[in-house]
Chain A
Amino acid sequence: MLRLFFVCLLTAVFVPMAKASTIVTHLEKTPVRAKAGLSAKVVTTLPAGTEVTTKKTSGAFTEVAFKIEGKTQTGFIATSNLQSAQSSGSKVSNVGSGEMKKSGYSSADVAAAVKGANKFDANATGADPNAKTELPEGSEDQAAEQVNRLDQVQPADVSPTSDFVKTGKLSKPKAQKK
Chain B
Amino acid sequence: MKLNFVFILLALNLVGCASSTPAVTSDVKADAEVSSNAPMGRTIAGEVFRKTPLTENSEVLTYVNTVGRYVGNFLKSNSKCPTARATSLDQVRVAVVRSENRFSYALPGGIAVLSDSFLRTLQTEDQLAGVLARELSTSLCERGMPVDLASQAADSWAGYISSLTAQPLPKAVLDIEDRTAFSTLYSLGYQIAPYIAWIEANENNPRTRHPMGKARAANLKKLIAKANLASSDTAARDARFQAALRALN
Binding site for B on A (CB under 8 A): 1-2, 4-5, 8-9, 12-13, 16-17, 19-20, 22-35, 39-45, 60-61, 78, 99-101, 105, 107-131, 133, 135-136, 139-140, 142-144, 146-147, 149-151, 153-156, 158, 164-165, 167-176, 178
Known: A24-B22, A110-B40, A127-B162. A172 touches B187 (CB 8 A): yes
When distances are taken between beta carbons in the complex, the residues of chain B under 8 Å from A31 are 145-147, 150-151
**Residue from the list A22, A26, A33, A143 in contact with B47, Cβ < 8 A:** A143
Closest Cβ of chain A to B171, distance in Å, is 10
Asked whether B107 lies within 8 Å of A117 as measured between CB atoms, the reply is yes
Identity of the chain A residue whose Cβ is nearest the Cβ of B73 in the assembled complex: A158
A124 to B164, CA, bound (A): 12
Asked whether A100 lies within 8 Å of B173 as measured between CB atoms, the reply is no
Closest Cβ of chain B to A30, distance in Å, is 7
**Count of A-B contacts judged by CB separation below 8 Å:** 329
Closest Cβ of chain A to B32, distance in Å, is 11
* B210 interfacial contact with A, CB 8 Å: yes
**Residue from the list B52, B108, B172 in contact with A125, Cβ < 8 A:** B52
Closest Cβ of chain A to B50, distance in Å, is 5
Identity of the chain B residue whose Cβ is nearest the Cβ of A172 in the assembled complex: B189
A35 to B104, CA, bound (A): 29
Known: A100-B156, A124-B99. A147 touches B49 (CB 8 A): yes
When distances are taken between beta carbons in the complex, the residues of chain B under 8 Å from A33 are 33
When distances are taken between beta carbons in the complex, the residues of chain B under 8 Å from A42 are 39
Identity of the chain B residue whose Cβ is nearest the Cβ of A177 in the assembled complex: B228
Binding site for A on B (CB under 8 A): 1, 4, 7-8, 11-12, 15-16, 18-20, 22-23, 26-27, 30, 33-35, 37, 39-54, 58, 61-62, 65-66, 68-70, 73, 82-83, 93, 95, 99, 101-109, 111, 115, 125, 135, 138-139, 141-147, 149-151, 153-165, 169-170, 172-173, 186-190, 207-210, 227-234, 236-237, 240
A150 to B64, CA, bound (A): 11
When distances are taken between beta carbons in the complex, the residues of chain A under 8 Å from B65 are 153, 155
Asked whether A27 lies within 8 Å of B27 as measured between CB atoms, the reply is yes
Instruction: A121-B101, A176-B228 are known; give 13 further A-B pairs, CB within 8 A.
Output: A1-B4, A31-B146, A39-B33, A43-B39, A44-B39, A60-B154, A114-B157, A116-B138, A118-B164, A119-B104, A124-B101, A125-B161, A168-B240
